Structure 1
Amino acid sequence: MALPPLVGLPTDRKQIGQHPFLAVGEKYVRAVVDGAGATPVLLPALQPPLAADEWLDRLDGLLLTGAVSNIEPHHYGDEPSWEGNLHDPARDATTLGLVPRAVAMGLPLLAICRGFQEVNVAFGGTLHQKLHEAAGFADHREDTDDPLEVQYGPAHDIRLAEGGLLAVIAGGTHARGNSLHGQGVARLGDGLGVEAIAPDGAIEAFRRDGGGFLLGVQWHPEWQVTGNPFYLGILRAFGDACRVHAARRARQAAAAFA
C-alpha cells in the first residue's frame, strides 16, 4: 500500500513571551490530513530562507496557508505599508521564492488567503492593501467579535468560471464562501486565470494554465473541511494531484536504482 503523499506547509513567525516560535494553524494541518489524505510537513520560514530545492525535491505538494500577517508591500509596489499592518518578512522571503520553483517542478500547489496573495505577487501581480477602501469593492473582513462559527460561516456568493476546476467540484457555477480578508488582488499575476469572483468583482480564485495543479482561493476551505462538500472537494482534488505526484516520484526513484 502506498504511503500518503507529503505536503509542505510554510510556517509563520509567532512571538510567545520573549521567544519567537514557528507555527502553522492546526486547521490547515487537519485539512491536509482529513481533507487531502496526506501527511503534513512543516517547513520553517527563516530569513535568509533555506534553499527551496532542498525541500521541494522531497515533497508531493505544497499548501500555502492563511495568516494574520500581510505581505510587505515593497514586494509588489512602492506604496508604503499602513500603520499597524502586521508583517512576517521571513515568511515573505520563504514563500515568494518557493512558488516559482514549485511550479517549475510540477509540484501541486494549493494557496489559501495569504497564500493566494503570495502566489499572485510571486508571478508579478499586485494587491489592494485595503480592499474595502478601493472603489467599487465591499468590505470582505470578518467581525473579530463574532464567534468563530460566524466568522468562518458563509458570507457571500461566489461565481465560478464555467468549465473551470471549481465549477467541476461544485457541480455548477455558483457556490458560497466565507470571507476573512482585508487585502485583495489588484492586478492578476502573469499566467494566472480567474476561477471565481465575488459579487463586487473581487477575484476569489485563480488557476495557472500549462499543466500541473495550482489553485489559489481567497476564502478558507480548510475550515471544518469535512462538513462542507465544496470545501472538501477542493482539498480532495489537491490530495489526488499530490498522490499522482507521489507515484511519479516513486517510479523515478525505482528507475534510478534499477
Structure 2
Amino acid sequence: MMTTKRKPVVLIPADVKQLGEHPFHVAGHKYIMAVAEAAGALPLVVPAISDLLDIDVLLAMADGILLTGAVSNVHPSHFGQTVHNPSLPLDPARDALTLKLVQAAINAEVPLLAICRGFQEINVAFGGSLHQAVHEVSGLNDHREAKESTLDIQYGESHLIDLVASGQLAQIVGAKQMMVNSIHGQGIDKLGAGLVAEAFASDGLVEALRVEHAKAFTLGVQWHPEWKVMENPQYLAIFKAFGDACRLRMRRHEPPD
C-alpha cells in the first residue's frame, strides 16, 4: 500500500475575538496560507484555552509554531506597566497561551517563527519590555499604517531596515538591507535576556530577533512577511527557512520504518 508523505505540522495559537454576541478562536487566513503554501506545512490552529491544554502534548505533535500578528496588544502587566491607551484591544487568553508556549517551544527545540505581536511576545516571554506607543517616544518614528488606505498600501513596503552582518536573517534573505511593511504601534523597548537583535529600523528600533542559544530555528520579525509572501522573494525565503526547519524536526521525530 502506498503511503502519503505527511507534511510537518505547524501550530498557530488563536486570537480570541468577539464576533457578534459570542467569542471565537480565530487565526488570520493570510498566516494559514503562508504556512501551507510558502512553508509547505500543515497549519493547525490551537484554541487559546491554556488552562485546559497540555503544553507537552501540543509540543509532541508540533513540528513548528507560528506566532501571528494581531489587532490586540500584549497586556502591559506582563512587562511591569499599566495600560497606556485603554481604547486599544487586549487578548489575555492569547497572552496566557503564547507566553507559556514560547519558552516551552525553545526548550523542546521546536522551530518558532514569530510575526509582529508574536515577535513582541517572544521579547516579553524573555523578560523584555515594549513601548506601548512607539510614535510617542522621542527619537522614534511613527511605525503605524495609514488605516484609511487600502490593504495593499497598508501592507506595502514602508521603510528600509538594516540586517545585522552575518546574522541569521541576513543569511536567509541574502542581503544587508531590505524593505519591509510597517503596521505596528508597539515595539521593543528593552530586549529580553538571551535575545539577539537581527535587524534595526533607521530610528534604532529592533525589527528582528533570535533566541541566542536556541537549538532549533527561532526568528521573530516586527513586520508582516506573510503578506503576499509568494510575490516577495525575501519574505518567501523566511517562510522557506522556517519550513525547512520544521521538516528537519519532523524527520528527527518520525519513528523508523
TM-score (norm 2): 0.96
**Structure 1 residues without counterparts, runs of 5 or longer:** none
Q: Secondary structure at the match of 2:209?
A: strand
Contact kept in structure 2, 1:49 and 1:94, CA below 8 Å? no
Q: What amino acid is the match of 1:226?
A: M
1:3 aligns with 2:6: yes
Q: 1-side partners of 2:183 and 2:168: how far apart?
A: 23
Alignment of 1:51-90 (within 5 A): 51-90=54-93
Contact kept in structure 2, 1:49 and 1:93, CA below 8 Å? no
Q: What amino acid is the match of 1:144?
A: K
> Cα deviation per residue 1:208-253 (whole Å; 9 max; x = unaligned)?
1222111000000000000000000000000000000000010xx3
Pairing partner for 2:94 from 88, 91, 94: 91
> Cα deviation per residue 1:61-89 (whole Å; 9 max; x = unaligned)?
00000000001100011333422021011
Q: 2-side partners of 1:179 and 1:13: how far apart?
A: 23
Deviation at 1:166, TM superposition (A): 1.6
Pairing partner for 1:173 from 176, 180, 183: 176
1:100 aligns with 2:113: no
**Structure 2 residues without counterparts, runs of 5 or longer:** none
Pairwise CA RMSD of aligned residues? 1.2
Q: Secondary structure at the match of 2:189?
A: strand
Q: Secondary structure at the match of 1:42?
A: strand
Deviation at 1:48, TM superposition (A): 3.1
Q: 2-side partners of 1:108 and 1:225: how far apart?
A: 19
Q: Secondary structure at the match of 2:61?
A: coil
Q: 2-side partners of 1:134 and 1:77: how far apart?
A: 18
1:136 aligns with 2:144: no
> Cα deviation per residue 1:2-34 (whole Å; 9 max; x = unaligned)?
311000000011111111111000000000011
Which residue in 2 is equivalent to 1:234? 238
Most deviating of 233-242 and 158-167: 158-167
Q: 2-side partners of 1:184 and 1:204: how far apart?
A: 8
Q: What amino acid is the match of 2:242?
A: F
Identity of aligned residues (%): 51
Q: 1-side partners of 2:188 and 2:31: how far apart?
A: 22
Most deviating of 233-242 and 168-177: 168-177
Which residue in 2 is equivalent to 1:186? 189
Q: 2-side partners of 1:78 and 1:67: how far apart?
A: 20
Contact kept in structure 2, 1:192 and 1:209, CA below 8 Å? yes
Which residue in 2 is equivalent to 1:45? 48
Q: 1-side partners of 2:79 and 2:5: how far apart?
A: 41
> Cα deviation per residue 1:133-177 (whole Å; 9 max; x = unaligned)?
111100000011100000000000010010012211222211000
Deviation at 1:49, TM superposition (A): 5.1
> Cα deviation per residue 1:71-118 (whole Å; 9 max; x = unaligned)?
110001133342202101100000000000000000000000000000
Q: 2-side partners of 1:6 and 1:170: how far apart?
A: 24
Q: 2-side partners of 1:199 and 1:49: how far apart?
A: 43
Q: 2-side partners of 1:81 and 1:136: how far apart?
A: 19
Q: 1-side partners of 2:141 and 2:45: how far apart?
A: 35
TM-score (norm 1): 0.95
Q: What amino acid is the match of 1:88?
A: D
